[in-house]
Amino acid sequence: MHHFSYKDGQLHAEDLPISAIADEVGTPFYCYSTATIERHYRVFKESFPQTKTLVAYSIKSNSNLSVIRTLANCGAGADIVSQGELERALAAGVPADKIVFSGVGKTASEMASALDAGIYQFNVESEPELQLLNEVAVSANRTAPITLRVNPDVDAKTHAKITTGKSENKFGVPWNQARRIYRDADEMPGIRVVGVDVHIGSQITDLTPFKDAFGRAVEMARLLRGDGHAIERLDLGGGLGIPYRQSNETVPPTPSEYGAMVEDLTKGLDLELIFEPGRMIVGNAGCLISRVLYVKNGSDRNFLILDAAMNDLIRPALYDAHHDIVPIKEPAANATNLPFDVVGPVCETGDTFAKDRYLPDIKPGDLVGFMSAGAYGAVQSSEYNSRPLVPEVLVKGSNMAVVRRRPTLKEMLSREPMADWL
């Protein structure tokens, strides 16, 4: 569900024609819908009517300050993985006691800053990390509330690059070592055990792996309580998939199906549940808008050459991801669709967004939109080929704001002082 639709023959973001935004900010640019972000947060939050929950939006999926503040205003917390994300969450107004800190490589200085800010919990991923956190906390005269991320060895059946819950993945502590590590944690003066954490991957479109992993996490919580630990919280991570195709051949579970499954598994346990959804909140709330530069007729295929490239949206190149591509001007109902390879200007064959994509007759100068690009789009962009990072625009009703502007080439070059011997 999203708020991008055709009105009067033009794709609109909420009440604004996208072509008008393009005229104002130039292309390419990311465009986000406030109503969609807010709706997805609400729908997710309301999927757990029986339970105390903290929805800690995973800000790695879209860390624009205005996006984070939109969610903070709805009551969301934040799941962070770096000092930069901590700064963003705080700057956007997320209260420190709604911030959880994930990630396999936290540094001592990141730990110190997060302790200083007073975050809600650290999701610890290894024994050496636990020991370091204890040392940092003791020397700062603080106690770090922790969960251990346990690796449930469950296959999330998603793309290999975004699977995290198998024993061969780098994430979490092995299941059969967890109880001993919790015992050790209890002896550490800078550590306070508060719960158990699990996260098995992203873009998961089937409830079964979630159910298997969460079942194991619940079992671990019971065992740990039996061992005498005060387990108050269960952090179930993120990962709920979204529909990427309007034609919808894979329909992900709805948040309410997901919520009912979770509430059933955790019934009567008196656990606070923490979730770290990213894509589910912002994925379908954003699109990347690009202009067609050329239509090139090759020897055996036709290329649509856009002004957006793999540096702006890397998901197709990195994960073979599909994004629906739609013309901004609504095609006639009887328009004939022709196959195009949709590519960008970067000098690599990998700079291909789609092959044999059927699109109506599109001409140079026309605008197209990559749908479902709100998550892992702008955040994964780079300046490859010395292309400036594209602007981000947030729409609310008929208002728009440029919430990240395009840097000038001069600014980009000025970040690189010349070596003084040159």
> Which of 33, 58, 63, 381 forms a contact with ligand LLP (CB under 6 A)?
58
Of the candidate spans 132-140, 233-241, 265-273, 394-402, the one that interacts with ligand LLP by CB under 6 A turns out to be 233-241
Query: Interface mask (CB under 6 A) for ligand LLP, residues 371-400, using x and -?
Result: ----xx------------------------
242, two tokens? 């979204």
Q: What are φ and ψ of residue 358, in 5° steps?
A: -80, 120
- The residue assigned the tokens 């994964």 is 380
Alpha-carbon gap, residue 422 to 403, rounded angstroms = 37
225, two tokens? 């309580």
> Which of 279, 323, 387, 396 forms a contact with ligand LLP (CB under 6 A)?
279
Query: Interface mask (CB under 6 A) for ligand LLP, residues 187-216, using x and -?
Result: ------------x--xx-------------
Report the nearest approach of ligand LLP to the CB of residue 383 (Å). Answer: 18
Nearer to ligand LLP, 34 or 203 (CB): 203
314, two tokens? 């890397």
Nearest to 4 by CA among 285, 385, 314: 285
Nearer to ligand LLP, 31 or 280 (CB): 280
Q: What are φ and ψ of residue 71, in 5° steps?
A: -75, -40
Query: Interface mask (CB under 6 A) for ligand LLP, residues 98-137, using x and -?
Result: ----x-----------------------------------
Q: Is 320 left (phi over 0), alpha (psi -120 to 50) or beta?
A: left
DSSP symbols for 287-333: EEEEEEEEEEE-SS-EEEEES--TTT--HHHHH-----EEESBPPPT
Active centre residues (catalytic): 347
CB 409 within 8 A of CB 388: yes
66 touches ligand LLP (CB under 6 A): no
380, two tokens? 């994964």
Query: Interface mask (CB under 6 A) for ligand LLP, residues 247-276, using x and -?
Result: -----------------------------x
315 touches ligand LLP (CB under 6 A): yes
Alpha-carbon gap, residue 354 to 307, rounded angstroms = 15
> Which of 79, 125, 153, 392 forms a contact with ligand LLP (CB under 6 A)?
79
Alpha-carbon gap, residue 320 to 413, rounded angstroms = 32
Report the nearest approach of ligand LLP to the CB of residue 240 (Å). Answer: 6
In the beta sheet, which residues pair with residue 4?
13
Report the nearest approach of ligand LLP to the CB of residue 302 (Å). Answer: 28
61 touches ligand LLP (CB under 6 A): yes
Q: What are φ and ψ of residue 22, in 5° steps?
A: -60, -40
Nearest to 297 by CA among 341, 329, 251: 341
- The count of chain residues that interact with ligand LLP, using the rule CB under 6 A, is 21
Report the nearest approach of ligand LLP to the CB of residue 60 (Å). Answer: 6
Report the nearest approach of ligand LLP to the CB of residue 68 (Å). Answer: 14
Report the nearest approach of ligand LLP to the CB of residue 34 (Å). Answer: 19
DSSP symbols for 133-179: HHHHHHHTT--EEEEEEEE------S-GGGB--STTSSSSEEGGGHH
CB 390 within 8 A of CB 29: yes
Task: Give residues 146-165 in contact with ligand LLP (rule: CB under 6 A).
Answer: 162
Nearest to 292 by CA among 228, 342, 347: 342
Report the nearest approach of ligand LLP to the CB of residue 156 (Å). Answer: 10
Chain residues binding ligand LLP by CB under 6 A are 58, 61, 79, 102, 162, 199, 202-203, 237-240, 276-280, 315, 319, 375-376
